[in-house]
Amino acid sequence: MNATATISPADRAGGPQYMRALERANQVRLARAELKRRVALGDLCVAAVILDCPWEAESMAVADLLMSQRRWGQTRCRKFLAQIAMSEKKTVGSMTDRQRRTLAAMLTAVPASGAEAAEGQRNGDQAAELVHPPFGISAHLARSEHRAMALSH
């Protein structure tokens, strides 16, 4: 049996396959860098990226996306993802709808740390409570109890 390989016209027009792959990888890198930049500046919410899953974030690790936020490092990311038993290496595109909704809810519905919330309240900013979630429910409950005690006096 004779096996022959032929080069399709598309291969000739676009250059060698490895060059097209390098171009594509460069496009993805640049798009991800822009996405991370927008998240770091606060122009784009991580929860929105997780729910919408744009093409540049499909093969991106969840930890990379979370750590592009201001004040999010590896430790904070690891502790946050441990709450829902999700691997740091899990890609945004491979998440189920339920995982997306859970992660987005955790990122947007939990109050911020005490200093940021106090600063936001001094400025009259209600959204300041939704900036950076704490690591556990105990911190949230302690804050709720503190507020309840303050209101009762």
Same domain (yes/no): 45, 104: yes
Same domain (yes/no): 64, 27: yes
**Binning pLDDT at 50, 70 and 90, where does residue 15 land?**
confident
Same domain (yes/no): 151, 97: no
Same domain (yes/no): 104, 118: no
Same domain (yes/no): 66, 123: no
Q: Taking the model in full, what pTM does it have? A: 0.62
- Per-residue pLDDT at 89: 94
Does 1 fall in a domain? no
pLDDT tens per residue, range 95-151: 999 999 999 999 987 555 444 444 445 444 444 344 444 444 334 444 444 444 445
Could you give the number of structural domains in the chain? 2
Same domain (yes/no): 26, 88: yes
Does 7 fall in a domain? no
Domain housing 75: 14-109
d(CA 19, CA 1): 32
CATH code for the domain of 72? 1.10.8.50
